[in-house]
């Protein structure tokens, strides 16, 4: 194949409806031609969280328009595409069905190959699109539904090292924001106020810090914030800012400790010396977390990589790119590809001891 491939990506796994067109050159570099994202937060605001049925309907209402917009922005017609990629999981089943069926219908009508994409794989490979980095690397994936460290050995080859035993990190940010009366999504709201607060005022726990297994836990931290908030009632603006700053500092500290353990483990497991540390997913937008993890990488002699903020959160450029990478390997999927609400990147990984129920996004 000596020309570029053009891939349409479709993302509907949670509360962002997105369509994008990405070009992949014969040498493997990527370029975003269009990247359209519509967030549904307004539709869910009154409920304080994502309502699956509302999410599915909202995707169905605008996905065709977004695809039209992405194609127009990219200057491509359907006939120009080489393949169509849609998220098949993991995520909320109603939304996944909307995106997957739309992608299949377009592929059938335009006679194009179809790719059913794992949303987590798309987060994991985004750094190849934005900075050209190729596996192997150690990945911290932190989003609203997932918190994992993975050894990314190649496209389709992932070894999970650590995972959360309770809440995902983004979920912990969202729940903390909710209990402090802040808007959703909670991560950016907590980060904004943390910048105004005193991180040393509250001594919050660093769950699992020092443990040998590189797992994560955030439920206890969130409960500690709740206890402080109740003790301080009525909360003043300063109290809220100090709680946000103390929470964010505890998170950064705990996650950095857990990633240090994952780096040790990855070094033992990988055949070649570990050279790169990548952070992906919505929470990778957090500046304090990025700074602490960059410090860890540098202390361990690893290069540090994180995608631009706009591509940390859910988007369809990452879906198109994962599709392009798989397509370049000659992999395509049938039109009978199922939705997979649960779809771990490393199916052989055991559940972390003590893990319990996960949130709606898990
Ligand atoms: O990857 P993503 O867009 O969606 C999922 O796949 O879940 O991640 C969304 C999560 C939300 O929980 C949101 O609060 C969190 O990422 N987030 C942040 C920041 N921006 C988004 N968390 C902390 N700091 C941020 N700046
Ligand atoms: Zn995501």
Does 358 contact ligand 1 (Cβ within 6 A)?
Answer: no
**Ligand at shortest distance from the CA of 178:** 1
14 burial type by CB count under 10 A (0-12 exposed, 13-18 middle, 19+ buried): buried
| pLDDT tens digits, 239-284 | 999 999 999 999 999 999 999 999 999 999 988 899 999 999 999 9
For the record, the structure tokens of 336 come out as 């009978």
Q: What per-residue confidence (pLDDT) applies to 359?
A: 46
Question: What is the C-alpha to C-alpha distance for residues 239 and 241, in angstroms, rounded to an integer?
Answer: 6
Which residues, including other chains, have CB under 8 Å from residue 101's CB and lie 6 or more apart?
Answer: none
Fold of 137-310: Nucleotidyltransferase; domain 5 (3.30.420)
Q: What per-residue confidence (pLDDT) applies to 271?
A: 82
C-alpha of residue 327 to centroid of ligand 1, in Å? 28
Question: What is the C-alpha to C-alpha distance for residues 321 and 325, in angstroms, rounded to an integer?
Answer: 6
Domain boundaries in the chain? 5-130+314-328, 137-310
Q: What per-residue confidence (pLDDT) applies to 131?
A: 97
Query: Fold match between 5-130+314-328 and 137-310?
Result: yes
Q: Length of the chain, please? A: 362
304 burial type by CB count under 10 A (0-12 exposed, 13-18 middle, 19+ buried): middle
Do the strands 157-163 and 147-154 form a parallel or antiparallel pair, or are they unpaired? antiparallel
Does 286 contact ligand 1 (Cβ within 6 A)?
Answer: yes
213 DSSP assignment: S
Order the strands of the 5-11 sheet from edge to edge: 30-39, 16-24, 5-11, 83-89, 114-118
Q: Is 5-130+314-328 in CATH node 3.10.330.20?
A: no
Mean pLDDT for each 10-residue chunk of the chain (362 residues)? 87 95 98 95 78 89 97 98 98 96 98 98 98 97 96 97 97 95 92 98 97 96 97 97 98 98 94 94 97 98 96 97 98 98 93 58 47
C-alpha of residue 245 to centroid of ligand 1, in Å? 17
Q: What is the dihedral of CA 126, 132, 133, 134, to 10 degrees?
A: 90
Q: What per-residue confidence (pLDDT) applies to 354?
A: 63
Quickly count: other Cβ atoms within 10 Å of residue 111's Cβ. 8
Q: What per-residue confidence (pLDDT) applies to 121?
A: 98
Instruction: State whether the Cα torsion 276-265-172-287 is positive or negative.
Output: negative
Ligand 1 atom closest to Cα of residue 145: 7
Ligand 1 atom closest to Cα of residue 169: 12
Does 313 contact ligand 1 (Cβ within 6 A)?
Answer: yes
Which residues, including other chains, have CB under 8 Å from residue 239's CB and lie 6 or more apart?
Answer: 229, 232
What are the strands, taking DSSP E only, across the chain? 5-11, 16-24, 30-39, 83-89, 114-118, 137-142, 147-154, 157-163, 276-280, 303-306
Does 144 contact ligand 1 (Cβ within 6 A)?
Answer: yes
């Amino acid at each position: 194949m000596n020309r570029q491939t053009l891939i349409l990506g479709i993302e509907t796994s949670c509360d962002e409806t997105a369509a994008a067109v990405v070009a992949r050159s014969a040498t493997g570099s990527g370029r975003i031609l269009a990247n359209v994202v519509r967030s549904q937060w307004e539709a869910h605001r009154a409920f304080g969280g994502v309502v699956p049925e509302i999410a599915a309907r909202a995707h169905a209402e605008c996905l065709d328009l977004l695809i039209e917009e992405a194609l127009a922005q990219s200057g491509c017609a359907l006939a120009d595409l080489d393949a169509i990629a849609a998220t098949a999981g993991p995520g909320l089943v109603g939304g996944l069905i909307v995106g997957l069926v739309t992608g299949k219908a377009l592929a059938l009508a335009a006679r194009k190959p179809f790719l059913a994409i794992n949303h987590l794989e798309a987060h994991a490979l985004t750094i190849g699109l934005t900075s050209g980095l190729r596996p192997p690397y150690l990945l911290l994936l932190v989003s609203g539904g997932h918190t994992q460290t993975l050894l990314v050995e190649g496209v389709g080859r992932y070894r999970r090292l650590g995972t959360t035993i309770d809440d995902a990190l983004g979920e912990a940010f969202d729940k903390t924001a909710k209990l402090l009366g802040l808007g959703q999504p909670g991560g950016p709201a907590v980060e904004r106020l943390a910048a105004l607060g005193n991180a040393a005022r509250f001594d919050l726990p660093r769950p699992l810090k020092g443990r040998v297994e590189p797992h994560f836990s955030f439920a206890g931290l969130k409960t500690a914030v709740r206890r402080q908030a109740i003790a301080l009632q009525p909360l003043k603006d300063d109290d809220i800012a100090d709680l946000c700053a103390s929470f964010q500092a505890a998170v950064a500290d705990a996650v950095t400790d857990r990633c240090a353990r994952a780096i040790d483990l990855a070094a033992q497991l990988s055949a070649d010396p570990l050279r790169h540390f990548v952070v992906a997913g919505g929470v990778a937008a957090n500046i304090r977390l990025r700074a602490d993890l960059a410090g860890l990488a540098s202390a361990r002699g690893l290069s540090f990589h994180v995608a631009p903020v706009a591509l940390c959160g859910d988007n369809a450029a990452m879906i198109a790119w994962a599709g392009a990478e798989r397509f370049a390997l000659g992999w395509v999927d049938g039109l009978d590809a199922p939705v997979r609400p649960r779809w771990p990147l490393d199916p052989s990984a055991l559940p972390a001891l003590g893990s319990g129920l996960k949130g709606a996004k898990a």
